[in-house]
């Protein structure tokens, strides 16, 4: 069986695919920042908060980690209108990605927090620092140092998962690819190009995280 590759039609839609890739970058970057903020607060609440708060955060983490991301996207975009909350596709995609990403990131941050020696926490408390100061000044910097590599991997996975939100017509790379494929009928060529773009985006994020690692944790980068 032979196949005649024809990339000309896909090349003609390069601006559309480039725009989709740019929107994927934007959506992923915002999701990463918001996920990390929520994860830090969630990890603090789960390790140092009152019992009801710890239970609520644990339930949220387990619910998100044990359900498909596609179901979460549908629940937010198609389910919320039933109670009067209507979101555009991009906003729904962003919320779904943040909620999904933060649940996984909470566990990563929590693992880093628990890796910090308890003696350091007690020493900081003995110096008169209150609980949140101990967390912000002593625990969190060391936790981020420990978890930076898995955190980077999780964020790259979050970027790749952005392809799922094309099912609600969010403006990102996979949605652009589906539009191109539907017009050109060159499915194989379109998705080969999209695969290469996703590989490039993952490499870009990996390079950024490696650069941050060398900037903030140079001793770890050399080891």
pLDDT digits (tens, 9 = 90+) for 29-69: 999 999 999 999 999 899 888 999 999 999 999 999 999 99
DSSP per-residue codes, 133-165:
HHIIIIIHHHHHHHHHHHHHHHHHHHHHHGGGG
> By percentage, how much of the chain surpasses pLDDT 70?
96
Q: Which CATH class is domain 8-222?
A: mainly alpha
Which residues lie below 8 Å from residue 204, measured CB to CB, with a gap of 6+?
Answer: 25
Mean model confidence pLDDT for the chain:
89
Confidence of residue 136 (pLDDT cuts 50, 70, 90): confident
How many CB atoms neighbour CB 94 within 10 A? 22
Query: Of the candidates 40, 52, 195, which has an alpha carbon nearest to the alpha carbon of residue 109?
Result: 40
How many CB atoms neighbour CB 86 within 10 A? 10
Which residues lie below 8 Å from residue 97, measured CB to CB, with a gap of 6+?
Answer: 27, 28, 31, 35, 158, 161, 162, 165
| Window from 14-18, 49-53, 175-179, 214-218 with minimum mean pLDDT | 214-218
Where are the domains positioned within the chain? 8-222
User: Could you read off the pLDDT of 162-196 as tens digits, one per residue?
Assistant: 999 999 988 899 999 999 999 989 999 999 999 99
- pTM value is 0.88
40 or 145: whose pLDDT is higher? Answer: 40
Asked if 143 and 40 count as a contact pair (C-beta separation under 8 A), the reply is: no
């Amino acid at each position: 069986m032979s196949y005649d590759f024809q990339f000309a039609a896909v090349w003609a839609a390069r601006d559309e695919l480039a725009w989709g890739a740019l929107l994927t970058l934007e959506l992923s970057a915002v999701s990463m920042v918001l996920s990390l903020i929520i994860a830090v607060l969630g990890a603090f609440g789960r390790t140092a908060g009152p019992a009801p708060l710890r239970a609520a955060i644990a339930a949220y983490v387990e619910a998100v980690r044990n359900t498909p991301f596609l179901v979460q996207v549908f629940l937010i975009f198609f389910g919320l209108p039933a109670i009067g909350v209507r979101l555009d596709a991009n906003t729904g995609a962003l919320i779904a990605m943040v909620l999904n990403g933060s649940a996984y990131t909470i566990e990563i941050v929590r693992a880093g927090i628990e890796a910090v020696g308890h003696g350091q926490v007690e020493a900081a408390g003995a110096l008169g620092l209150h609980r949140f100061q101990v967390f912000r000044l002593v625990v969190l910097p060391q936790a981020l140092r420990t978890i930076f590599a898995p955190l980077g991997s999780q964020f790259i996975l979050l970027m790749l998962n952005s392809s799922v939100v094309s099912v609600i017509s969010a403006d990102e790379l996979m949605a652009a690819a589906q539009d191109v494929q539907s017009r050109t009928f060159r499915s194989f060529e379109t998705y080969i190009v999209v695969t290469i773009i996703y590989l490039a985006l993952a490499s870009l994020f990996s390079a950024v995280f490696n650069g941050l690692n060398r900037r903030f944790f140079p001793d770890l980068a050399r080891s």
